[in-house]
Amino acid sequence: MRRPLAPIPHPSSFIPHPLTGTRSPTWPLLLLFLLLLAFGGGCRRQPEGSEAQLEQARQSLEAGQVDEAITRLETIIAQEPNHLEARLLLGEALGKAGRWSEAVEQYQAATVLHPDAAEAFYGLGRAAFQADQIEKALTAFAQGARLDPDGRDAYADAIAQVVQAGLEAGESYLSKGEVASAIPLLQAVTLLAPDQTRAHFLLGNALVQSGDPANLPQAVEAYQQVLKQEPDNAAAQTNLGVAYYQMGKLDEAIAAYRDALALDPEDAETHYLLGAALLQMEQFEEARQEFETALAQDAQLAPAYIGLGNLYLLQGDPKQAVTYLEQARPLAPNSPELYFALGQAYAQLGQKEEARSALQQFLALNPPQMWREQGEKLLQELEK
């Protein structure tokens, strides 16, 4: 509070001037002195306006008077929407009241108004985690860490918890086939925890499973991140090969599969995948060996039977193709690839009824449009 000023002397009051001996009016000097005293170091003014309210809100919060603190802070923000400290303190107060969704709104507003304020992002991360908004929490913590890496230590426990929650949620989405939900969540985990190899691995899987060719380069990067930290991870090598295969990079796919088999030579699925890539390269003998090795390790692996069936079709031996394809039928009764190959094989053998039945089953399984057109064309030719 400003000090009251002393009464102003009447202008007729004079004192001798020390140099000239003349008189000088005393009241202007006294007024100047009192003003300097009030505004200078001799007397510190108490905070006024929003700053005083902010201090009172802080004191209320420290005293456990949370509702009172919230009311004061909301008043400040209504008057000064850009007040960063008030929004941060309001977020904290709302959190103490268990109103985490509202706390998220305050911290979110603070990050929009003050995009360089690391403490706003850290606060948002903590509040979003408590509000079960895992993706938002991950993204906010990552931005806070980017702006102020040293500040991350104060939130280490919360960050570890949100990373684990994000990882579990991403894995759950993947297990349910909800790839579109898994991808952004796992991307956020890898952004916040770049050393988390499990997150990179799952992200790669999600990107491959999305079926979007535009996602494949990022899938390759995800698997490569795993292999930088875990060079002996055979599963990551295999899945890297799958990503390359879907990109049409057969040489890279074959190399990745071979690296995986060097780490785990008993993996039947990788032998099959290598065989499929070799078949695309028309390296028939090597492909046959890989398919047969896969079946020697897992006699129930239907794709390996289908692979051998396709191999013999390409070599002009539909009878041998049917032998392997029919072995796959009970193992993969809903495989479009199987029925398309069977339709081709029976058509080449002149067994129109069997070919027609196989192709009708193929079309009933809703294959991709390109395959559907080929199946319909082959079926029309059988009707001639």
Confidence of residue 16 (pLDDT cuts 50, 70, 90): very low
| pLDDT tens-digit map of 329-341 | 999 999 999 999 9
Tell me which of 28-32, 224-228, 246-250, 294-298 is least confident. 28-32
Q: Helix/strand/coil (H, E, C) string of 274-336? A: HHHHHHHCCCHHHHHHHHHHHHHHCCCCHHHHHHHHHHHHHCCCHHHHHHHHHHHCCCCCCCH
In whole angstroms, what is the distance from residue 142 CA to residue 135 CA?
Answer: 11
| pLDDT tens-digit map of 69-109 | 999 999 999 999 999 999 999 999 999 999 999 999 999 99
| pLDDT tens-digit map of 171-220 | 999 999 999 999 999 999 999 999 999 999 999 999 999 999 999 999 99
Q: Which two tokens stand for residue 11?
A: 């202008």
The fraction of the chain above a pLDDT of 90, given in percent, is 83
pLDDT of 40 above 60: no
- Per-residue pLDDT, 19: 30
| pLDDT tens-digit map of 264-285 | 999 999 999 999 999 999 999 9
| pLDDT tens-digit map of 327-374 | 999 999 999 999 999 999 999 999 999 999 999 999 999 998 989 999
- Per-residue pLDDT, 37: 37
In whole angstroms, what is the distance from residue 123 CA to residue 144 CA?
Answer: 9
- Per-residue pLDDT, 384: 75
pLDDT, the chain, mean: 88
- Per-residue pLDDT, 75: 92
pLDDT of 26 above 50: no
Tell me the mean pLDDT in the region 136-148: 95
Confidence of residue 49 (pLDDT cuts 50, 70, 90): low
Confidence of residue 39 (pLDDT cuts 50, 70, 90): very low
Of the two residues 302 and 1, the one the predictor is more confident about is 302
Q: Check if the beta carbon of residue 192 is closer than 8 Å to that of residue 184.
A: no
pLDDT of 1 above 50: no
**27: Cβ contacts below 8 Å, ≥ 6 apart:** 8, 9, 10, 11, 13
Q: Which two tokens stand for residue 146?
A: 């980017």
Q: Give, as one character, the DSSP assignment of residue 7.
A: P
In whole angstroms, what is the distance from residue 346 CA to residue 32 CA?
Answer: 110
- Per-residue pLDDT, 52: 87
- The phi and psi torsions of 2 (rounded to 5 degrees) equal -70, 140
Q: How many C-beta atoms lie closer than 10 Å to residue 45's C-beta?
A: 10
- Per-residue pLDDT, 18: 31
Confidence of residue 50 (pLDDT cuts 50, 70, 90): confident
Tell me the mean pLDDT in the region 18-47: 37
Q: Which two tokens stand for residue 266?
A: 């008993």
C-alpha distances out from residue 245 to 5, 54, 208, 242, 266, Å: 87, 61, 11, 5, 21
Q: What is the DSSP string of 222-285?
A: HHHHHHHH-TT-HHHHHHHHHHHHHTT-HHHHHHHHHHHHHH-TT-HHHHHHHHHHHHHTT-HH
Confidence of residue 62 (pLDDT cuts 50, 70, 90): very high
